[in-house]
Amino acid sequence: MYDTSLFDVRTDLAIEETERQKKQGYPSYPGVSVDEYDHTDLSNNKGSIHVTTVRIQSEESAHVLGKAMGTYITLEVPDMVQNDGHIHREISQVLAHYLQDLLKSHFPVHKYSQTQQGLQVLVVGLGNADVTPDALGPRVLSHVLITRHLQNGSFQKPDFPIDSASVCGIVPGVMAQTGIETAEIIKALTDQIHPDIIIVIDALAARSVTRLGTTIQLTDTGIHPGSGVGNHRHSLTQDSLGIPVIAIGVPTVVGAAAIVTDTLDTLIEVLCRETDTKHFADALRSMAPDEKYTLVRELLEPRFGPMFVTPKDIDDTIKRVSFTISEGINLALFGDVASHTQKESHQSSLQL
Amino acid sequence: MYDTSLFDVRTDLAIEETERQKKQGYPSYPGVSVDEYDHTDLSNNKGSIHVTTVRIQSEESAHVLGKAMGTYITLEVPDMVQNDGHIHREISQVLAHYLQDLLKSHFPVHKYSQTQQGLQVLVVGLGNADVTPDALGPRVLSHVLITRHLQNGSFQKPDFPIDSASVCGIVPGVMAQTGIETAEIIKALTDQIHPDIIIVIDALAARSVTRLGTTIQLTDTGIHPGSGVGNHRHSLTQDSLGIPVIAIGVPTVVGAAAIVTDTLDTLIEVLCRETDTKHFADALRSMAPDEKYTLVRELLEPRFGPMFVTPKDIDDTIKRVSFTISEGINLALFGDVASHTQKESHQSSLQL
Amino acid sequence: MYDTSLFDVRTDLAIEETERQKKQGYPSYPGVSVDEYDHTDLSNNKGSIHVTTVRIQSEESAHVLGKAMGTYITLEVPDMVQNDGHIHREISQVLAHYLQDLLKSHFPVHKYSQTQQGLQVLVVGLGNADVTPDALGPRVLSHVLITRHLQNGSFQKPDFPIDSASVCGIVPGVMAQTGIETAEIIKALTDQIHPDIIIVIDALAARSVTRLGTTIQLTDTGIHPGSGVGNHRHSLTQDSLGIPVIAIGVPTVVGAAAIVTDTLDTLIEVLCRETDTKHFADALRSMAPDEKYTLVRELLEPRFGPMFVTPKDIDDTIKRVSFTISEGINLALFGDVASHTQKESHQSSLQL
Amino acid sequence: MYDTSLFDVRTDLAIEETERQKKQGYPSYPGVSVDEYDHTDLSNNKGSIHVTTVRIQSEESAHVLGKAMGTYITLEVPDMVQNDGHIHREISQVLAHYLQDLLKSHFPVHKYSQTQQGLQVLVVGLGNADVTPDALGPRVLSHVLITRHLQNGSFQKPDFPIDSASVCGIVPGVMAQTGIETAEIIKALTDQIHPDIIIVIDALAARSVTRLGTTIQLTDTGIHPGSGVGNHRHSLTQDSLGIPVIAIGVPTVVGAAAIVTDTLDTLIEVLCRETDTKHFADALRSMAPDEKYTLVRELLEPRFGPMFVTPKDIDDTIKRVSFTISEGINLALFGDVASHTQKESHQSSLQL
């Protein structure tokens, strides 16, 4: 709503950065590893889940890629837009697997045994519940198992495993609603209740519309300024909060600027096919970045302002994916306790 | 909202009528059969589902019981208020079983084969989505598989079974929102799209708070004036609409009048235990119904007006049960097609 | 959601058609009159309301313009995006003025006196309440004074003017939710309750983002296939429903196709400024429409599919404008009765 | 939801305490002053606003009345349930008047001039947005003018008065949703952003249903354990937060326990009218409080548990009153700045 980087051709997806840089003929980066893996579901003939793990371990590469150092795990599932319980159940399980890996990488096993209550987790649902594509975070939180109040004092449930995670959560709202930076609210809450770790869920901006509702990004680098549909101005990271911050995001919008730039690039390709326009295409392609930037500004300003592009059925996508992610979180934090419920998802409750 | 029978001690549950009449020493009724069955879940040690089927087949008994002739199937599940995926999955399956029985009792098997599209079903979500305990119908409809538009013309999905049910649905709203009787809207729609059968979901008023969120009533007698939380003034029945009307309801409120009357009855019991007040209790008990009614009016009017009593956590109950019912409907109508999704429920998405 | 004309560069605004045609050097059309008027608010120094009335009275021009014959009244108010009670109150009054003119043009004055209940109006709130930019219709309806049930029988309120309009309303939902064409639902309801006239509110698609939230279109030509954010496939017109249909719409989205085409056009302008690219710009401009169309398809397909572009603060716009329109309708239908309330608007309830 | 005082016959209204104590023949209390005033609206013939100011200034009386020391201002407006813009506008103005008095009693005038930004206010919307009668706080907050982010740095709006109040707000949710005590969240936020004062809005429980939607309580004693529809377990007071806490509440529910007790009292009155039962009535009336309590427990337990009683049209009441209160707050904090908007209310947007 207060996007100060309108014309920055933004993506919140590390994997898109990598792709883009590669396209532009950059060499592979020092201290950056990329692993890929396919989780194929044998139980049905539907598509598999392609997982790419990008580890950025050098300052320099982090700078070049414009991403913080850390681990970025990307689940690519074209069928995630489908209303199929099998697939979403599988996604929840794969997400839980990688989420647990990230958790363990930040806490030695004995941490879990040291405490009676297990990990103290604060789950934050970022975004504006009143704007459909920005409502992912609030919707996910409404499905996450909240247990902290059950373990503290009078609400103890005997049949509830005393050593499972203690989970609390909050939907801080957006600054136009509260007048307070989300980062201020989370910082205040963290200092008050001292969780071991924070899991933040947010709707992301992608560069390519093919990413919308088909990709889940999991990272331990937290949330950085300018990221998310609402473009947070302050960061939610281990540096700013003092504890690890895991961010789970799904692209739900593409910035208008990104679309225009993509259109230009595609236009260039098109022109190149015709000899009589090739020389212009070459000239256009050879434009220096800042010339291109100036041109894009002229094309955009003031017409596109803080606009975003989103699919017409974004409500179904948000409804479906928010539940799939919440189940992944529940399974990662409660394991067997939640497993019999984790196997379930409400995909059939969505329109075909 | 326009309840014209405020002081009528109402229940929408046939089973409560039966109980009440029995309490009052009535003989069993001619033409009324009562069957009971326990569905025990072997897969867990949680409580079972107690199903009572009341068939009212004589005009006289219907009159005495103040219920229309037809079949009333009541599922009693004390654990339905629990957030346990197993139980809710089981309830959906049992509900689907009895719903299919009702459907088959109204349509010969060959009906299903005669048509390419199978049964044409209109699902109606009654109630006010803005009043939590009255939002059951709208919430259920948001989870029902809607397929009619997929089978008509351009939206045909090749992988969708051509002979499965064609389901459409509507949330008509309440009269204060529309200015139109719900019955008018449904009658109009029925005459326009000619479904084979209507399934109506509505929040009910019970007499006992122990019924709230723990009972599901399934009947082929439709909706009658004064029933439901919103107290419909016109009926939705085979007589009024020309096609069978199956009603699925869950008690979510108790009328203030019912509570006061119950309090009186309990008071009498209490008084009887003490000799010094017994004679008064006897006198009070011996009051003629209309005397009692007058007393209740004095106790109520104008204080209680159109009030209802509902639990503080009614939002969780509505969220949970609405999904359980929608899954039962989806399984009954789509069978194997939906079965892999039907096994799922989003109970874990609810707060413990 | 089932947009069958993805790459058609659509606008639902007659005024944009006129502008575009003019740009393209067409002559003015026979049988088309355009009147403009400025309503300046003396009470404050904020901008005025520019009203353009386009009357299309010849078949031929209707065909060329791709719009139905009838009257199109457009209110242009750049300040409508502001949170200023004065301006919105003024807009409601101006809207009421033109709405009454349209009503009177369809009903002789004596109509009002002939009936005790005055005009029977059905207000339809089109769109998907779950998708923010498509929620205009449902939101407007929640603010419209519903009186039909107060005048029928038992709900008569003595202090309510017996000769004022009888207003009822419905939110039919979208096909993905109901499986039923909106047109079927409205047709059925119209045949059942026989209103004199229908007022339909819908969110529109514009070509220019500068139109979003700053323009209100009022027309007596109803809703046509492919119009609205949801792209209705069937029409809601006097031809299809047998009674006059007045449509009130506000642009809340721009189709992705429109944005790309605009970008192309702007690109051409930019290129023309530089001599070395001018010849290419000329060539590009001289492309035949179908060539251009092919180019746009190449640029779009499959990347943009059924996407729309909308502002990040669309939730505030919908909240604000939906109330402004409902007040205009209330004043037009209830005049002095509603005037003391009409003077009010809840603009201050919106974030600055 | 975790009500630990089910059978305590609760009221959150100081005025009801006073009444009850008086009924029971208590003497007036030392250190307790009661002032009453009628604000009559000359502009219409509708009822006036009756304001009672109770000041509790002695520990002893505070103890006897079971209320904290401080000022309790009660607005009684039977017509507040009406959909009349005049009345609600008037209520907003009267509320603003008394709210400003409370603010000034806590801050010397020079405080306002000392700071460039004026008073720093944190507005808290307590309650569960998903349970209609508990949604008052969240609904009010959605209408309050939020300005803090406009005055801090980059969002400064030149046309916004630099010396007006800086307002921020939050909807903390309820413990079943967050796992965190509301008091913990507010304490954390207060320590982080250091407001001068907190204004808390909450739905209250009354003893008499005649209070529902017709009474507004304004107090500088904050929120105490067990108060509110959700029964907070920790307090939000100057003692706990270190800054003044003004609470604004409207009764939206009556506890089941209160209704039963009222029924008993009414029953006694009824019995007294008939000689043959008078002696019993006397006996019953003469019961010691703890006997009566035991009887009430028998009547209630376990039947009523955490139940509440609320009107069927509570959604309209919440919609209407939440706006009226937000306007009162906006006027009190922004005065002339907001006055032109304050005069407005969206009452006409509600069903008659």
C287 touches chain A (CB under 8 A): no
pTM of the predicted protein model: 0.84
What is the model's pLDDT at position C21?
64
Which residues in chain A touch residue B157, judged by CB atoms under 8 angstroms apart?
352
Q: Is D150 exposed, middle or buried (0-12, 13-18, 19+ CB in 10 A)?
A: buried
The pLDDT, as a whole number, for residue C311 is: 85
How much is the pLDDT for C324?
94
Does the distance separating the beta carbons of D230 and B312 come in below 8 Å? yes
Q: Identify all chain B residues contacting A342, using CB atoms and an 8 Å cutoff.
A: 348
Looking at chain D, which residue has its C-alpha nearest residue B311? D307
What is the C-alpha separation between C66 and C14, in angstroms, rounded?
Answer: 9
Query: What gap in Å lies between CA A273 and CA A278, rounded to an integer?
Result: 7
Residues of C whose CB is below 8 A from D349? 142-143, 323, 326-327, 346
Q: Do A147 and D179 touch (CB under 8 A)?
A: yes
The reply to whether B323 touches chain A by the CB within 8 Å rule is: yes
Q: Chains with 3 or more CB pairs closer than 8 angstroms to A?
A: B, C, D
Q: What residue segments make up the domains of chain C, in order of their start?
A: 14-257+308-349
Of residues D4, D149, D178, nearest to A169 (C-beta): D178
What was the pLDDT predicted at A263? Answer: 65
Q: A65 vs B106, which has greater pLDDT? A: B106
pLDDT at res. D301: 53
Give the H/E segment covering residue B307. strand B307-311
Q: Does C173 touch chain B (CB under 8 A)?
A: yes
Average pLDDT over every residue of A259-279: 65
Write out chain B residues lying below 8 Å of D277, CB-based. Answer: 280, 283
What long-range pairs does D140-143 form, CB within 8 A, spacing at least 24? D140/D201, D140/D248, D140/D322, D140/D325, D140/D326, D140/D329, D141/A177, D141/D169, D141/D170, D141/D171, D141/D201, D141/D326, D142/A177, D142/C349, D142/D322, D142/D326, D143/C346, D143/C348, D143/C349, D143/D322, D143/D323, D143/D326, D143/D327, D143/D330
DSSP E strands in chain D: the ranges are 32-39, 49-56, 70-76, 120-125, 166-170, 197-206, 215-219, 245-255, 307-311
Task: Say yes or no to pLDDT of C92 above 80.
Answer: yes
Neighbours of C20 (CB within 10 A): 16
Q: In 3D, which of B347, B280, B278, B283 has the Cα closest to residue B316? A: B347
> Which of B131, B270, B351 shows the shortest C-beta gap to D299?
B270
- A150 vs B268: CA distance, rounded Å: 39
Q: Is some CB atom of chain C closer than 8 A to the CB atom of D86?
A: yes
- Whether residues C168 and B178 touch (CB distance < 8 A) is answered with yes
pLDDT at D58: 92
- The string of pLDDT tens digits covering residues B224-244 is 877 777 777 789 999 999 999
**CA C336, CA C93: separation in Å to the nearest integer?**
12
**Across the interface, do C352 and D89 touch by the CB < 8 Å criterion?**
no
CB atoms B180 and C189 under 8 Å: yes
In angstroms, the CA C240 to CA A126 distance is 46
pLDDT greater than 90 at residue B114:
no
Return the structure tokens found at A206.
């992608």
Q: A305 vs C283: CB contact, 8 Å cut-off?
A: no
Q: Tell me what pLDDT residue A19 has.
A: 73
How many angstroms separate the CA of residue B207 from the nearest CA in chain D? 11
Q: Is the dihedral of CA B259, B262, B268, B273 positive or negative?
A: negative
Share of chain D above pLDDT 90, in %: 39
C132 contacts A312? CB cut-off 8 A: no
> Is the model's pLDDT at C336 over the cut of 60?
no
Return the pLDDT at D294. 59
- Chains contacting chain C through 3 or more C-beta pairs under 8 A: A, B, D
Nearest CB to B304; choose among D209, D280, D299 = D209
CA distance A72 to A64: 16
Interatomic CA distance for residues A100 and A334, integer angstroms: 11
List, for residues A218-248, the tens digit of each pLDDT value. 999 999 877 777 777 789 999 999 999 999 9
Q: What is the mean pLDDT of chain D?
A: 77
CB contact under 8 A, B341 and A347: yes
Look at residue B254 and tell me whether its pLDDT is greater than 80. Answer: yes
pLDDT of amino acid B159:
43
Which subunits count as partners of chain B given 3+ CB pairs below 8 Å?
Answer: A, C, D
The verdict on D315 touching B (C-beta cutoff 8 Å) is yes
Give D298's pLDDT tier (boundaries 50, 70, 90): low
Give the three-class secondary structure for B118: coil
Write down the pLDDT at residue C77: 92
Among chain A residues, the shortest Cα distance to D193 is held by: A184
* pLDDT over 50 (residue B340): no
Q: How many CB pairs under 8 A join A and B?
A: 80
Tell whether D8 lies on the interface with B, counting CB pairs under 8 A.
no
Give the ranges where C152-241 is alpha helix by DSSP (H): 175-178, 182-193, 238-241
Exposure letters D46-76 (e unless 16+ CB within 10 A, then b): ebbbbbbbbebeeeebbebbebbbbbbbbbb
Each residue's pLDDT tens digit, A303-351: 555 678 888 889 989 999 999 999 999 999 887 444 333 333 333 322 2
Is B295's pLDDT higher than 80? no
Test mutation, C141, C189, C198, C334, chain B, max B CBs within 10 A: C189
What pLDDT is stored for residue D13 in this prediction? 84
Q: Do C4 and B168 touch (CB under 8 A)?
A: no
Across the interface, which of A3, A264, A316 has its CB nearest the CB of C312? A3
The whole-angstrom distance between D280's CA and the closest CA on chain C is 42
Share of residues in chain C with pLDDT > 70 (%): 67
- Minimal-distance CA residue of chain D relative to C143: D349
Q: Which residues in chain B touch residue C169, judged by CB atoms under 8 angstroms apart?
A: 177-179
| Secondary structure (3-state) at B320 | helix
Please indicate whether residue B279 or residue A214 has the higher confidence score (pLDDT).
A214
CA C97 to chain centre: 16
Q: Is C92 on the interface with D (CB under 8 A)?
A: no
B147 contacts chain A (CB < 8 A):
yes
Place of tokens 């008086």: D22
Residues C167, C118: Cα–Cα separation, whole Å: 10
User: When comparing pLDDT for C3 and B219, which is higher?
Assistant: B219
> Among candidates C204, C317, C202, C211, which has minimal Cα distance to C262?
C211
Mean pLDDT score, A284-301: 58
The reported pLDDT for the residue numbered A163 is: 52
- CATH of C14-257+308-349 among 3.40.1380.20, 3.90.320.10, 3.40.50.300, 3.40.50.1450: 3.40.50.1450
Q: Is pLDDT larger for residue A350 or for residue C312?
A: C312
Stretch D200-209: mean pLDDT, rounded?
90
Contact with chain C for residue D352, Cβ under 8 A:
yes
What local confidence, expressed as pLDDT, does residue C65 receive? 77
Determine contact: B299 vs chain D, CB below 8 A. Answer: yes
- Span B1-21, pLDDT tens digits: 223 333 345 678 888 877 766
Name which of A7, A83, A131, A265 to mutate to probe chain C: the one with the most chain C Cβ atoms within 10 A of its Cβ: A131
List, for residues C68-91, the tens digit of each pLDDT value.
899 999 999 988 887 777 788 899
- Mean pLDDT, all residues of chain C: 77
pLDDT digits (tens, 9 = 90+) for A90-134: 999 999 999 999 998 888 654 554 444 578 999 999 999 999 999
Candidate from A1-10, A33-42, A94-103, D83-92 with smallest mean pLDDT: A1-10
Q: Which of A77-91, A106-120, C289-303, D193-207 has the lowest mean pLDDT?
A: C289-303
Asked, as a colleague might, if the bond just before C172 is cis with ω within 30 of 0, I would say no
Name the A residues in 239-258 with CB < 8 Å from any D CB. Answer: none
Which DSSP helix (H) or strand (E) runs through C54? strand C49-56
Which H helix or E strand runs over D80? none
Task: Give the span between the Cα atoms of D246 and D268, in whole angstroms.
Answer: 39
Q: Is A142 on the interface with D (CB under 8 A)?
A: yes
φ, ψ at C135 (rounded to 5°): -90, 5
Instruction: Give the distance from residue B213's alpha carbon to the nearest chain D alpha carbon, in angstroms.
Output: 13
Cβ of D313 under 8 Å from any chain B Cβ? yes
D347, C344: Cβ pair inside 8 Å?
A: yes
Please tell me the distance from the alpha carbon of residue C346 to that of residue D322, in angstroms, as a whole number.
Answer: 12
For residue B245, give how far its alpha carbon lies from the nearest alpha carbon of chain D (Å): 26
Taking 80 as the threshold, does the pLDDT of residue A76 lie above it? yes
Q: Do D188 and A191 touch (CB under 8 A)?
A: yes
| pLDDT tens-digit map of D52-73 | 999 999 999 888 877 889 999 9
Q: Cα(D78)–Cα(D76) distance, rounded to whole angstroms?
A: 6
Tens digit of each residue's pLDDT (9 = 90 or more) over C164-189: 789 999 999 999 899 999 999 999 99
Q: Which residues contact A41 (CB under 8 A, 6 or more apart)?
A: A48, A49, A86, A87, A90
- What SS3 class is residue B150? helix
Give contacts of D304 with chain B, Cβ < 8 Å.
209, 259, 309
Q: Where are the beta strands (DSSP E) in B236-278?
A: 245-255
Pairing mode, if any, of strands A166-170 and A120-125? parallel
Please report the ipTM that was assigned to this predicted complex.
0.82
Query: For D161-170, how does the pLDDT look when each residue is reduced to its tens digit (9 = 90+)?
Result: 445 789 999 9
When mean pLDDT is compared across A286-290, B104-108, B171-175, B234-238, the lowest value belongs to A286-290
- Residue to test with chain C: of B168, B194, B232, most C Cβ within 10 A: B168
Q: Which of A139-143, C124-128, D313-317 has the lowest mean pLDDT?
A: D313-317
pLDDT of residue B138: 97
Phi-psi region of B213 (alpha: psi -120 to 50; beta: other; left: phi over 0): left
Query: Among partner residues C145, C327, C348, which is closest to D342 by beta-carbon distance?
Result: C348
- C184–B172: do the CB atoms touch at under 8 Å? no
Cβ-based neighbours of C339, under 8 Å, separated by 6 or more: C331
